[in-house]
């Protein structure tokens, strides 16, 4: 029986990473079918070539609006859009994904918090501070992804 140790091994074991790699493979197939290089697609999206490569390799989570633009630019006929909700949920840690799904469908939310502001009520600055003070310290890119995911949850209530 294999034992998973360390953060990078845990990330590899997360099924969400396979979903991101699958999304990236679909995107690459559509890009190549459209006759575009990574550089050409990057230019049309206003991204860098490295960002396109990272999405195709499943190392970067595309934003929902980016998925819409990719599907349109690559004539995906809804293929990429069909994966948009699942891809968006990969922003959250594995233990929270079910809660995020339930939260989206909720019609009411009640919480009692004494020591911290609940995530749905946090400002961008407060959320960033909460993620920054954690030890061991997270990488800046990971903190920014977590802040973006936290703020994306606010759209539920707007």
In this structure, the answer to whether residues 16 and 81 fall within a common structural domain is: yes
In this structure, the answer to whether residues 55 and 130 fall within a common structural domain is: no
In this structure, the answer to whether residues 70 and 14 fall within a common structural domain is: yes
The pTM (predicted TM-score) of the whole model is: 0.64
Residue 100 domain-assigned (yes or no): no
DSSP string covering 53-87: HHHHTTSSPPPHHHHHHHHHHTT-TTTTGGGHHHH
- Is pLDDT of 2 > 50? no
Q: Distance between CA 148 and CA 124 in Å, rounded?
A: 8
Mean local confidence (pLDDT), 37-41: 96
In this structure, the answer to whether residues 63 and 16 fall within a common structural domain is: yes
For residue 135, the enclosing domain spans 106-157
Query: How many other C-beta atoms are found inside a 10 Å radius of the C-beta of residue 5?
Result: 8
In this structure, the answer to whether residues 16 and 73 fall within a common structural domain is: yes
In this structure, the answer to whether residues 12 and 74 fall within a common structural domain is: yes
Tokens linked to 51: 């960002």
In this structure, the answer to whether residues 75 and 111 fall within a common structural domain is: no
Query: Which CATH number characterizes residue 59's domain?
Result: 1.10.260.40
- Is pLDDT of 28 > 90? yes
In this structure, the answer to whether residues 14 and 46 fall within a common structural domain is: yes
Q: Distance between CA 37 and CA 131 in Å, rounded?
A: 36
| Structural domains in the chain (count) | 2
Looking at per-residue pLDDT, the higher value among 54 and 115 belongs to: 54
What is the pLDDT, as a whole number, of residue 10? Answer: 47
In this structure, the answer to whether residues 67 and 134 fall within a common structural domain is: no
Mean local confidence (pLDDT), 13-25: 88
């Amino acid at each position: 029986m294999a034992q998973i140790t360390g953060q990078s091994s845990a990330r590899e074991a997360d099924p969400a990473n396979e979903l991101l790699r699958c999304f990236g493979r679909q995107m690459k197939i559509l890009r190549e079918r459209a006759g575009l290089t990574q550089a050409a697609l990057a230019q049309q999206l206003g991204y860098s070539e490295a960002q396109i490569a990272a999405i195709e390799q499943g190392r970067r989570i595309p934003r929902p609006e980016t998925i819409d633009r990719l599907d349109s630019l690559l004539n995906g006929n809804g293929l990429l859009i069909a994966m948009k909700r699942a891809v968006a949920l990969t922003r959250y840690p594995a233990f929270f994904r079910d809660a995020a799904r339930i939260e989206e469908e909720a019609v009411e939310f009640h919480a009692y918090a004494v020591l911290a502001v609940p995530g749905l009520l946090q400002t961008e600055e407060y959320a960033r501070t909460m993620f920054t003070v954690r030890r061991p310290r997270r990488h800046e890119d990971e903190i920014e992804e977590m802040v973006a995911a936290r703020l994306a949850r606010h759209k539920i209530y707007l």
